Amino acid sequence: MGMPTDALLVDDEQHLRMYLKLILKQVGFTNFYEAVNGEEAVELYKAHKPDLVLMDVNMPKKEGMEALEEIIEFDEDAVVIMTTSVASREAVETSAELGATHYIRKDTPKDTMIEMIQGIVNEIWGD
């Protein structure tokens, strides 16, 4: 299986989706789907089965944790990284229990975020 190219960006704020897209492009992703809430995220995931999902925790209509749960129920091998501005220990533990691969704070410096995502990609898709 080759390196991942498809990503689903889920955030209700467009500037954050743009920012995350720039970061993923630096990691090698080339094809992007975008959702503004958990409901759209689940629909897009089921339709396209992207390699990676970056999903905000707090969103309108359907929260990230709920969408995470549905995506993992649909595909237990889904690679979902939760992104948030508030990383409480409880939220991190809940997302891990629900099947999230990782948890990244949105205020993480850009270079650190690129390194973290690159590390996750290497761990999952590397040789």
Q: Is residue 58 part of a domain?
A: no
> What is the reported pLDDT for 127?
64
Tell me, yes or no, whether 105 lies in a domain. Answer: yes
> Domain residues for 13?
6-52+63-125
Domain contains 91: yes
Residue pLDDT, tens place only, 72-111: 999 999 999 999 887 688 888 999 999 999 999 999 999 9
Does 69 map to a domain?
Answer: yes
Domain count, the chain: 1
Distances (CA, A) of 47 to 31, 54, 104: 14, 16, 25
Residues 27-73 pLDDT 10s: 999 999 999 999 999 999 999 999 999 999 998 889 999 999 999 99
Query: Residue 119, SS3?
Result: helix
In this predicted structure, what is the pLDDT of residue 99? Answer: 96
